[in-house]
Amino acid sequence: MATAVTAPADGRTQKSTRALPSALWPWLLLLPAFISLGSVSFYPIVNGIYLSFTNRSLITQDNDFVGIANYAQLLADPPFWNAWWHTIWFTIASTGLETLIGLAMALILCESFSGRGVIRAAMLVPWAMPTVVTSKMFGWLFDGQHGIINFILLHAGLIDQNVNWYGSPDTALTTIILADVWKTTPFMALLLLTGLQTVPKSLIEAARMDGAKAWTIFWNIRLPLLLPTLLIAGLFRALDAFRVFDLVYVLTGGGPADSTETLSTLSYKILFSTLQFGYGSAVSTAMFITEGMIAVVFCLFLVRQIRKTT
């Protein structure tokens, strides 16, 4: 760190021999980073937004600027709103469950007990699995005929006949949410665990000496100090959950009766099956805007939280 700080100072002393004014140097050195970032992330976003104002289609070879026509169509498009609500519901339900279960897991793993290291490592296995594999696995677990979930529930007397988890609009999305919770809870647990470890031990010890119960310590010390981490982890998770694609694509393809269609699968269908790049980009931009709003809500909470603590 120290050398990094002093280096520009050295540069400034030798500046007079250089042809370029010193103010330009940092920009010049940043240029490669700007170019690479701009070409792989800024340009595609801008181009995507531009496409959403055109009627470009590979099939019809149209490529004209149509203004907000795509967005007007979008707002009146029932399949879009259907997918939008599913996606929002999926995001809220999966992020909420993952945060709660992840928090519980983190609290347990924070305690010291023998074999903790092994369990911490083993916990991450679901998260490390490719989503397509998880999807196939849950496909079998919840299979309507031979799935073990039906077998267990049937024998435990909780249901009186096999439930067709993916074939019924009442259960399909819930089952997909369960699969996502199973897969990503460890990720939440891991993030929250690191957050918990930053809570000073001295505070907890002091509370204990004052006779505080575990619940009081959690509620008054750990949770408030964990809140920024919780919000950041929630933000990560919510933005990620919002893009859900693989689980839906592999398990149901959006069906039955559109009951599991999400924005990602819908925009995939529009973009790559029907090759309407204009309208498909409008759907993607709408996704982008919704994600932006989710991020803003989280950030507002986060800023308020940080203000409160500092």
Partner 1 sequence: MPVFKKASAGSNATGFSTMLDRRQLLLGAASAAVGAATLGVTSGLGMRSARAADRTEISFASASFFGKEGLGDLVKAYNESQDRIMVKFIELPPPSSSTEVYQGLIQQLARRNGTPDVFSQDVIWIAGFAAAGWALPLDEYFPKEKRGDYFPGTVAACTYNEKLTALPWFVDSGMFYYRKDLVDKHGGKVPETWEDMATIAAAAQKAGDAKFGYLWQGKQAEVLICDAVEVITSNGGSILAPDGKSSILGEKAAVEAIQFLYDTINKTKISPQNVLSWDEEPSRQPFTSGEAMFMRNWSYVYPIAQDPKASHVVDKVAVAPLPHFAGGKSAACLGGYQLGVNANSKKREAAIEFLTWMSSPETQTRLALNFGLAPSRPAIFQDAKLKAQQPFMASLQNVFTGATPRPITPQYAKVTLALQSGISKALVSGKVEAELKSAAEQINKIVA
Residue 259: CB minimum distance to partner 1, A:
8
Residue 38 or 44 having the CB closest to partner 1: 44
Cβ contact 177:93 at 8 Å: yes
Residue 27 or 81 having the CB closest to partner 1: 81
Among 196, 202, 189, 188, which residue's Cα sits nearest to residue 222?
196
> Within 13 Å and on the Cβ side, how many CA atoms surround 119?
12
Residue 268: CB minimum distance to partner 1, A:
9
Name residue 65's beta-bridge partners: 54
Other Cβ atoms less than 10 A from the Cβ of 152: the count is 12
Residue 38: CB minimum distance to partner 1, A:
26
Cα(163)–Cα(101) distance, integer angstroms: 25
Residue 224: CB minimum distance to partner 1, A:
45
Residue 230 or 266 having the CB closest to partner 1: 266
Residue 270: CB minimum distance to partner 1, A:
8
Residue 109 or 173 having the CB closest to partner 1: 173
DSSP 146-182: T-HHHHHHHHTTS-SS---TTTSTTTHHHHHHHHHHH
Residue 59: CB minimum distance to partner 1, A:
6
Cβ contact 252:176 at 8 Å: yes
Rounded (5°) CA angle 212-218-222: 115
Cα(67)–Cα(231) distance, integer angstroms: 37
Residue 96 or 255 having the CB closest to partner 1: 255
* End-to-end CA, the chain: 26
How far apart, in Å, are the Cα atoms of 49 and each of 11, 32, 287? 42, 25, 11
Which DSSP state fits 65? B
Residue 194 or 274 having the CB closest to partner 1: 274
Residue 168 or 305 having the CB closest to partner 1: 168
Residues that bind partner 1 (CB under 8 A): 58-61, 79, 143-145, 164, 166-169, 172, 252-259, 269, 272-276
Residue 259 or 290 having the CB closest to partner 1: 259
Other Cβ atoms less than 10 A from the Cβ of 234: the count is 22
Cα(284)–Cα(301) distance, integer angstroms: 26
Residue 116: CB minimum distance to partner 1, A:
41
Residue 255: CB minimum distance to partner 1, A:
2
